[in-house]
Every structure is written in structure tokens, then in C-alpha cells.
Amino acid sequence: MLRWIAKFIFRVSGWETVGEIPHLDKAVFVAAPHTSNWDGFWLLVYKLTLGVEVRFLAKDTLFWWPLGNVLKALGAMPIDREDSNSTVAQLVQNFATADTLFLALAPEGTRQWTPHWKSGFYRIAKAADVPIVLAYIDFGKKQLGVGPTLPDGRSMEEDLATIRAFYAGVRGKHPELQGPVAFPPQ
């Protein structure tokens, strides 16, 4: 029933899906840009339309009854954002123990402008030895889609160049809040 409703919402709203979910058992999906609360709504509609089980992180403070049950049913995993190192370790462990796991992460970490992306998605994927898949929401074209999977064995700089090029033409709901595709200085 939810899948039918999601497809109906897509059809009447004029949005379209682009690309295909890769044939993988595990992956980190980069979900960008993230400039509005509407991003989450449209990504849930997209996930339900395709019928794919993609997990995502949500602030642990949202997991009160009954919202917490609804969020978990939609694929949300509660996260305490205060301790990012613990988060990476927990998610790497989740990948290690799961037979299948698609995890979508918004690398900006917020809907506000930031001078760089958070590197957690990259650290999680590398530590868990799972592919990184680029996914997007483009309000300018009214498209939600899946792009390339980053090749193995490349440097962080090469991966960032590919990511930057891929997202260069993608427009969030509030483009002025899209920060540069870069990691914080180390």
C-alpha cells in the first residue's frame, strides 16, 4: 500500500526517478544535497517507490513514542550526534554483522550552509570496506536518482574530484545553502 501511495505521489507531483540501484549487498549512499526538510520526505517517497531497503540516520531525540516506531519502520537508525567517533565505529560494526545493508548519509550533516562536508560517510565506507554510491535530489530538475559507484583503490583526492564533478549541476531546494564538496582540513 505504501509503495502504491509513493508512486502516486511521484506521478502527480511531476518528480522522476533516474538511475538504478546497483546490484550490491552493502553500500554507503551519499544523499546530497541536503538543504531542506523536504529532502527527507522526497527520499522516503523515492525509497518506497523503488521498494528498496535503505537505512538512514536520524537524531536520537526524534525517537519518542509514537514517532520512533514510525521512523524505525521507515528505516531510520537513531544516532547520538555528540560522539562522531563512536558513530563511525557503531556503523562499521553494523556493516560487519549485516548480510545486507544500504545506508544513506547526508554528508553536510545539516540543512545549513557549511564550509565543507563531514567525512564520516567516507570513513565508514573505507573502514567497513563497502562501496560508496552517489545519490541525489535535484529540485531544479525534479529528479531523485542514483549515480555512479566510486571505484575501489583510489585516493581520497580522486574520489572527491569525482564527487565534486557529479554534484556540480545538482540543485538543492535552497541552493544558497549548498556548501562546497570538500572535507575538513586534517
- Tell me: the pLDDT tens digits for 98-126? 999 999 999 998 889 999 999 999 999 99
Q: Name the band, by pLDDT with cuts 50, 70 and 90, for residue 1.
A: confident
Distance, in Å, from the CA atom of 71 to the CA atom of 58, rounded to the nearest integer, reads 8
Domain boundaries, the chain: 2-173
HSE-CB of 10 using CA atoms within 13 angstroms = 21
Percent share of the chain, pLDDT over 70:
98
Q: Name the band, by pLDDT with cuts 50, 70 and 90, for residue 84.
A: low
What topology is assigned to 2-173 in CATH? Answer: Glycerol-3-phosphate (1)-acyltransferase (3.40.1130)
- Tell me: the pLDDT tens digits for 136-162? 999 999 999 999 999 999 999 999 999
Percent share of the chain, pLDDT over 90:
84
8 Å CB contact between 117 and 178: no
Helices (H) and strands (E) in the chain, counts: 6, 7
Q: Which of 95, 85, 82 is nearest to 28 (CA)?
A: 95
